[in-house]
Amino acid sequence: MITELGHYALILAFWVSIVQIVVPFVGAHQGRPRLIAVGEPAAIIQFLLTVFAFFALVWAFATSDFSLQLVTLNSHSDKPMIYKITGTWGNHEGSMLLWVLIVTFFGALVAWFGENLPPTLKARVLSIQALIGTAFLAFILFTSNPFLRLAIPPMNGQDLNPLLQDPGLAIHPPFLYLGYVGLSMTFSFAVAALIEGRVDAAWARWVRPWTLAAWIFLTIGIGLGSWWAYYELGWGGFWFWDPVENASFMPWLLAVALLHSAIVVEKREALKSWTILLAILAFGFSLIGTFIVRSGLLTSVHAFANDPERGVFILAIIGFFVGGALLLFACRAGVLEAKGVFGTVSRESALIANNVLLATSCFVVFIGTIWPIIAEMFFDRKLTVGPSYFNFVFTPFMILLGVLLPIGAMLPWKRGNVGRIMRVLRPYLFLALAMAALVWSVQTNRSILAPLGVFVGVWICVGALVDILSRAYSSRDILRILRFPRADWGKLVAHFGIGVIFFAICGLVAWQQEDIRVAYIDESYDVGGYTITLRDVQRHDGPNFVSTMGTVSLSDGGDEIAQLWPEKRNYPVAQMTTTEAAIDYRIMRDVYVVIGDRQDDGGWVIRTYVKPFANWMWFGCFLLAFGGLLSLSDRRYRVAAGARRPLHGLLAK
Amino acid sequence: MIPIVGTRRGVALRNCLILFSILSWNTVLAVQPDEVLTDSRLEERARELSKELRCLVCRNESIDESNAALARDLRLLVRERLVAGDSDQEVMSFIVERYGEYVLMTPRLTGSNWLLYAAGPVMFLISFFVGVVYMRSRQCALPSQEMALSKDEQIRLNEILEK
């Protein structure tokens, strides 16, 4: 019964969203406040209906209602409750429902918190947000309905992919979705501004929090996904340049570019049309990501539900939104006149350089991702574009960006002087170079990567600190630093985080050690300065799996520092085996142990990795997100943005 | 959509299982100890080459990471050729001859592939050029333009002043 109600609520949400497209839009166009006023309640009702539909589906999963086709295919009564619930979005239909839920959630947020927006802009934003919602609601209802019943329900389900039965993955998709869909908000604002023909500092100020929020969620989502891949997949890789990872990385890159260009619009009223274009493209890439995963055109191994019909539907959605928005952009961009004047060396031009590099690196990732399709369609060549290509073409842009970052971040608006900034930064540049040289001379293998990572990492981190300290120093009152706006602290923390990530990735890739061998019980061996001993291997029964668990002791110079329990799990229902690596997390390094098969002579395959600075990567991601959060909490988004309301209020007339 | 940055191995494993149901069941880890060559130099070369060859049944995984039986065969083949004294280049050509260009993780810079490699730098030059032109235009813009108030703003200013 609840299922049917959920289905019905979803259909109702579809109709409400159609109302939400048409009525406020017409109202804004004709300047009729009563029509405009429809937008807000419609957005909230649409959200509540979708929430109901979503929870009806969660309920079906939680109660293991196998009369639902989706539950049968993706759940099992023996599964722990938490994974029954998270299984709701561990499949195509459920994840699309989550996607729509978040679209409507953002629409409702605008209705709730957008009281300082001019009514016409708000009406148009809501209308465009509803347009996106409608497209995806139609997609769900017509091609991937989660509420389909089975005529004869089976006794039990087929279980969820065991790799998805993991806490990291349980929370990772919602974050990623919040990020993707958050960019729909920026898109709606951009299109609404194009229709209104007005982009100014106030607009940038309204858009920035939404972009920031979306970017924070994307950062957390990508970080969690990467962490999950690290500990779950059995050899400690954290990034694979897989089409699906790229699909989340491209919007992230563009969101970073957008965050920075929106600052220029806000402070200096320049780069307007470019910012609008970025907003359109960032959401476009989110949609392309959906397409990549859902269509099966790019045969990523992530794509767990491929269906050509769905692919065509999503392609039509992309064509409509991106094509339509770009067309609108082509017609209207001329109206957006830049105002700010600035010199060739200035904060503005540094931010342009940032945008050039980020947009180009996004483009490179895009080309690499779709090249197999292009090559096959136009040149009749079946080929693969793997990680080496991406590392080769992507890394130079990032290094250039990293080298320019501290200088650009300190340049003043309008007109700057690199010499003056370098006078402050020169000692720290030498410090970074000296540390890189030290690393170069100390390390045993002649890898260029590690010194480079150390240089860029230290340079960025120290640069970020110098930036804020020198400003405090020049104001002659060091305590003034405490009263700096939160956005400045956000900038410090996020830039510092990027430096940490640079350092960690290079250090990890350059210095990790690997050992693969057949180990025998109680026979010790050394890996990277640690002594490893396999003590025991036993069988354990889990709720829906059977585990082979090894007991491995890890000692450093004779003292045991940790006991590790690597596992190999066999899920009989899903007929899959997963490896559960055992990791000894430390600040400077992880020791990562994986157990494999039993050999005929009684030994076990054991792989051991020593991974230096792995945790610094996750810590860097955390700093990025935290910096974003600090910036988001800046006072100016709460106070100043409303300043124009009384004079511009259409309803007040 | 991408609920899962990472089911790759999951689904890969499942695909492999469908294809090789029992065969791959017992090969859960990629490189096995019995494959490792005693000559550590050769082994290192073999690992590097394996990273550049894809597993043909598990999408988007190199044979170095893959658990499939076919990937194991390829790894053994690579090592066999290396032990036989082939250069890296010769090993790769040997395998490409048999399995096609598709097996290479990094596309060769031949024919239409120059587009793939040129795209990034060309795009960078174009955007760099556009950026410079834009900055020039901003530099030369009349300062008065920046000062001018729009009609709305003028009205608002008047309103504020009248208060």
What ipTM goes with this model?
0.83
Q: Which CATH class is domain B7-103?
A: mainly alpha
Q: DSSP code of A481?
A: G
Question: What residue in A sits closest to B104 (Cα-Cα)?
Answer: A384
Average pLDDT over residues A171-190: 90
What is the pLDDT confidence band of residue B34, given thresholds at 50, 70 and 90? confident
CA atoms of A622 and A620, how far apart (whole Å): 5
Query: For residues A437 and A339, which has the higher predicted lDDT (pLDDT)?
Result: A437
Q: Chain A closest CA to B153's CA: distance in Å?
A: 10
Confidence of residue B15 (pLDDT cuts 50, 70, 90): very low
- Nearest CA to A28 out of A164, A152, A197, A187 is that of A197
Are the Cβ atoms of B139 and A368 closer than 8 angstroms? no
Across the range A240-266, mean pLDDT stands at: 90
Mean pLDDT of A126-142: 94
Give the residue-averaged pLDDT of A30-43: 92
Task: Point out the least confidently predicted range of A154-168, A379-393, A612-626.
Answer: A154-168
- For chain A, percent of residues with pLDDT exceeding 90: 44
Task: Report the alpha-carbon distance of residue B66 to residue B23 in Å, rounded.
Answer: 14
What is the least distance, in Å, from the CA of B24 to any CA of chain A?
10
**Are A162 and B32 in contact (CB < 8 Å)?**
no
What residues of chain A, 187 to 226, have a C-beta less than 8 Å from chain B?
222, 225-226
Confidence of residue A473 (pLDDT cuts 50, 70, 90): confident
In the DSSP assignment, the letter for residue B101 is G
Q: What value does the mean pLDDT take over residues A28-50?
A: 93
Q: What's residue A294's pLDDT?
A: 66
Evaluate whether A627 touches A490 at the Cβ level (below 8 Å). yes
Residue A89 has pLDDT above 70, yes or no: yes
Beta bridge partners of A533: A524, A553
CATH 1.10.10 describes domain A1-165:
no
- Pick from A431, A490, A535: which is nearest to A626 by CA? A490
Q: Do A356 and B100 touch (CB under 8 A)?
A: no
Q: At what angle do helices A167-196 and A92-113 cross, to 10 degrees?
A: 50
> Does the beta-carbon distance from B60 to A568 stay under 8 Å?
no
CA distance, residue A233 to nearest chain B CA (Å)? 7
List the domain boundaries for chain B: 7-103, 113-162
Looking at residue A457, its pLDDT comes to: 94
- Region A335-345: mean pLDDT is 79
pLDDT at A648 over 50: no
Decide if A300 and B25 are in contact by the 8 Å CB cutoff.
no
> Picking from A17-21, A473-477, A595-599, which range would have the lowest pLDDT averaged per residue?
A473-477
Query: How far is residue B27's CA from residue A550's CA, in Å, rounded to a whole number?
Result: 17
**Nearest-angstrom CA–CA distance, A595 and B73:** 22
Q: Does A401 touch chain B if contact means CB atoms closer than 8 Å?
A: no
Check residue B38 and report its DSSP letter. S
Mark which residues 590-629 of A lie under 8 Å from B by CB: 594, 596-597, 599, 605, 607
Using a CB-CB cut-off of 8 Å, the residues of chain A touching B114 are none
Helix or strand holding residue A607 (H, E): strand A604-612
Task: Output the pLDDT for position A644.
Answer: 45
